[in-house]
Amino acid sequence: MENSKLQLQMERVKQMIDEARAITILSHINPDADTLGTALGIFALLFKQGKRVEVVNASTQLPKHLDFLPFFSKLKHKIDFADSLIITCDAGSLDRFGFDLTGRMIINIDHHISNTFFGDVNVVFPNDASTSQVAFKLFSTIYPINAQTATAFYTALLSDTRYFTTSNVTPEVFDIARELVARGANPVDIAKNFTQRRSLSSVRVLERALHSLTLTMNGQVATMQILLEDIEATGATMPDMEGIVDYGRSLATVELAVLLIELKEGWRVSIRSKTVDITPLAKSFGGGGHKVAAGFTLSKAEYTQSAVKCHSQIATQITQLRILQ
Ligand SMILES: [Mn+2]
């Protein structure tokens, strides 16, 4: 069923791209490798087709270790094309892009189960391991996959599968990875950019987060916090803090890991579980994500209203109320 639906979507997407005078490819704010790899991979495809295309991300802080991605230097922070066709990558809702897209034609490419189907065409496969997997299936029969696109899509796949270790890694994932390597992605070079190019700030802020680690509910819930003062002292950027929450989940007794990051305007809450579906929890706080990886933000007012001073208490309260009762 997925295949016949995909076939129709491919025809529609090709027609929309053929008819578009200009195309804007968007990735989500606080970008990760999946959103940027997918966006840059599609950019490489359309650029080589001679299309008038731009690739835009609203965040000014981009993950520096991803600067090896083809066309990384083409990333802009504002949309220059007026009536362009929009292609969105790897976000479940429009507010994740940071732009007013009212009245625009949108092709929504994603794998979040919380996706709100905001596009005119919605190519959303929640069982896929990365948005680049969705994009590969959508585009590989329309356009030839070049080495640059293969590099970008493979990077996205490697990152979102945590090096091919997540529960959504299927034979299809390896088939696509094999195809991408055959078309020019270099797995050794790409892996080096993830494992051997960390910033010192990312390690220093990790040290502080680990120091705050607290276990509650018989060791089932791990909570960590990063305060504004930690961010200021270490010089960490948002990309430097990606993946820290996974250290909580790595513990044997832990079912649920929570990381609270204090921002100037509120708190960013990242949640990971081993098996429990945490999307309802994230949604109940206005966020979203995947079954075992989700998040939301709390304003300072919402956080204060909870009348709980200790971060581990707020996590316990959340989990007792909504998940592990
Ligand atoms: Mn993703």
CA of 310 to the centre of ligand 1 (A): 31
Cα–ligand 1 centroid distance for 289 (angstroms): 9
**Topology given in CATH for the domain delimited by 200-322:** Diaminopimelate Epimerase; Chain A, domain 1 (3.10.310)
* Ligand 1: centre distance to CA 266 (Å): 24
240, 205 Cβ separation under 8 angstroms: yes
Q: Where in the chain is the domain with CATH 3.10.310.30?
A: 200-322
53 Cα: distance to centroid of ligand 1 (angstroms): 22
In the chain, CATH 3.90.1640.10 sits at 2-195
Task: Give, to the nearest 10 degrees, the angle between helix 187-195 and helix 147-160.
Answer: 50
CATH number of 2-195: 3.90.1640.10
Q: Distance (Å, rounded) from C-alpha 199 to C-alpha 262?
A: 20
Record the pTM.
Answer: 0.90
Instruction: Tell how far the Cα of 64 is from the centroid of ligand 1, in angstroms.
Output: 18
Mean pLDDT per 10-residue interval, the chain, length 325 residues: 84 98 97 98 97 97 95 98 97 96 97 96 97 98 96 98 95 98 98 95 98 91 94 96 96 94 92 89 86 88 56 53 47
User: 129 alpha carbon to ligand 1 midpoint, in Å?
Assistant: 7
